[in-house]
Amino acid sequence: MQNNFRFDLSNYLIHFFRDVDLESNAYIHFPEFAGFNNIYEDTKLSALFLLRCALRHSKLIASWSYRNNKRSVYGYNPAVCFTEMPLAAFVQTSFERLQRGENINQYALLLPKSNMFSLGARPVIYALTSNSISYVKTNNSEERIIDPNQLPILEQYRYVTYNLSSKYPIDWTHEREWRWACRNDLTEYNKELYEDGILEDFSKLPSLDIKNSNITGAGVVVPKNKDVEKVLFDILTLIDKGDVLHNTFNFILSTENLNFTQIINPLDLEKFINENLIDVSSFYQMNDDIQANINKDINNIISNGISSISQKAENYQNEQGKSWVWIIDNQSEVARALILSKRITINIEGKYLLEIKNIENKTLREQEAICKNIASQISNKYSINCNYFSTLNTFDPDWVPFYSDFDDTYHSYYNVSRQDS
């Protein structure tokens, strides 16, 4: 493998995200609901929004890559597309194409090529030996099926049109594309699209499941330094929830102040990656005395919060349910101490919830008042974001309806599809 150590080769496959208009002729099938912490209110989805959705759901959407309202992926299997161009080339070409107004972006995942090959990803096939390709008609007018005698059905997702001798040459070889085909049963997916025209939620999407893929040493690329904090927030949440291992994602790279010439040499790229490693181990190590003191402090705040509210003669409505203190800043020392002490529950939306013992017999409004009081004390003492979170008529933290006052959509907790987020 020593011959592979060259500036024009890479050990990674890059899956990049682009801005998408769901009403354009290059749309994707995006679900109606992507989670209450993923907010989009129109048909335009930013590349950062889509990257963070992929991270939060641990899924890369397999699609048909519609171009001019036509599938560019052949066969019966949608695919996840990658490029194997080196990172330096990706940084250079994406910048130049953005300058020309092309629909590309520098938000991307870098996945080890060896991992992806084991999962079934393969280089695409640019053209067939025969210049004349025959197609098979099916009941689905959108499907593009090549005669299996010319290319086996299982390999058709890899085919990319290539013709240098036509009047308008077609050449996509510069993309050095790889694809991974989704082999899941698409019956329900196709039925829902046919009947409703839109998918209900992320669970219905054909996708590559990062959570169960055994990928290690992956990385994230973003074009702005301010995006690093948001991506780290998402990755840390995934690890805390147990959705991915500590070594699934190893680095986050910002290209804001990077010239592609700095990472052309493989040794320079390796150095750049090493300088941007995610040291997640630091989030899972804490001096025992510091951890004990924080827990003791939180316990005192909880006691004060319960007693101060209980002494107030307020008329609480008789709603039932459960309320928690929501520790919003997941990288804070308080959050880490409570995680290490196993006092935090993380719900399906990624909220870090601290349970307040022995208040379940109180009405929901009284529980909320107690949790608001405790959250306010923690916020003031430690200068972090805290709030309450409650669910109606249930003790399930994943239940709907739920209630909270925190709606700062510029905070890393929220993933908002807008350019200024």
Residue-wise pLDDT for 2-34, tens only, equals 667 788 889 999 999 999 998 888 788 899 999
In this predicted structure, the answer to whether residue 104 has a pLDDT above a threshold of 90 is no
How far apart CA 208 and CA 310 sit, in angstroms, is: 50
Work out the angle at residue 59's Cα, subtended by the Cα atoms of residues 217 and 278, and round it to the nearest 5 degrees: 30
Show the CA angle centred on residue 269, arms to residues 263 and 275, nearest 5°.
Answer: 115
Is there a domain that residue 421 lies in?
A: no
pLDDT in tens, 134-174: 999 998 888 999 999 999 999 999 999 998 888 888 889 99
Is 41's pLDDT higher than 90?
no
Q: What is the pLDDT of residues 249-294, one digit of tens each?
A: 999 999 999 999 999 999 999 999 999 999 899 999 999 999 999 9
Residue 131 pLDDT > 80 = no
What per-residue confidence (pLDDT) applies to 421?
A: 58
Q: Which long-range contacts (CB under 8 A, 24 or more apart) does 40-46 make?
A: 40/416, 40/417, 41/417, 42/417, 44/19, 44/20, 44/417, 45/19, 45/20, 45/21, 45/417, 46/19, 46/417, 46/418, 46/419, 46/421
Rounded CA separation 384/376 (Å)? 10
Residues 6+ apart with CB under 8 A from 187: none
The reply to whether 246 and 298 lie within a common domain is no
Give the mean pLDDT of the chain. 92
User: Does 269 share its domain with 315?
Assistant: no
End residue of a domain, out of 228, 253, 280: 280
Judged on CB neighbours under 10 Å (0-12, 13-18, 19+), 184 is middle
Name the CA radius of gyration of the chain, rounded: 25
Share in percent of the chain as helix, strand, coil (round to 5)? 35, 20, 45
Q: In terms of domains, do 120 and 150 share one?
A: yes
Q: HSE (CB half, 13 Å, CA atoms) of 17?
A: 24
Structure tokens at 55: 């991270």
Residue 343 half-sphere exposure, CB side, CA atoms within 13 Å? Answer: 21
Q: How far is the C-alpha of 219 from the C-alpha of 196, rounded, in Å? A: 36
Is pLDDT of 311 > 70?
A: no
Cα 25 from chain centre: 24
Residue 387 belongs to some domain of the structure: yes
Per-residue HEC secondary structure of 85-132 comes to CCHHHHHHHHHHHHHCCCCCCCEEEEEEHHHHHHCCCEECEECCCCCC
Residue showing tokens 């990077």: 258
Q: pLDDT tens across 319-378, in order?
A: 899 999 999 999 999 999 999 999 999 999 999 999 999 898 899 999 999 999 999 999
Same domain assignment for residues 254 and 379? no
- Dist CA 53 CA 17 (whole Å): 11
Residues 37 and 186 in one domain: yes
The number of C-alpha atoms within 13 Å of 113 and in the hemisphere containing its C-beta is 16
Question: Do 211 and 144 reside in the same domain of the chain?
Answer: yes
At 182, which amino acid appears? C
State residue 1's pLDDT score: 57
pLDDT at 313 over 70: no
Element holding 189 (H helix, E strand): helix 187-196
> How many separate domains does the chain show?
2
- Residue pair 192/204 in contact (Cβ under 8 Å)? The answer is yes
Tens-place pLDDT, residues 385-395 = 999 999 999 99
Please report the pLDDT score of residue 2 as a whole number. 64
Band of residue 105 on the pLDDT scale cut at 50, 70, 90: confident
Q: Are residues 23 and 170 in the same domain?
A: yes
The 3-state DSSP class for residue 239 equals helix
Model pLDDT, residue 420 = 64
Q: In the predicted model, is pLDDT for residue 315 greater than 80?
A: no
Mean predicted confidence (pLDDT) in 394-413: 95
| Type of residue numbered 85 | M
Residues 340 and 271 in one domain: no
Cα angle: 54, vertex 24, 49; to 5 degrees: 25
Question: Residue 92 is part of which domain span?
Answer: 2-280
Q: Which residue reads 């009405």 in tokens?
A: 363
Structure confidence at residue 237 as a pLDDT band (50, 70, 90): very high
Q: Which of 210, 221, 152 is nearest to 180 (CA)?
A: 210
Residue 230 and residue 151 share a domain: yes
Query: Is residue 241 located within the same domain as residue 336?
Result: no
Residues 320 and 407 in one domain: yes
On whether both 258 and 320 belong to a single domain, the answer is no
User: Residue 21 in 3-state DSSP?
Assistant: strand
Query: What was the pLDDT predicted at 249?
Result: 96
- The percentage of the chain sitting over the pLDDT mark of 70, rounded to a whole number, equals 97
What residue has token string 């609480």? 316
Domain C-terminal end among 229, 254, 280: 280
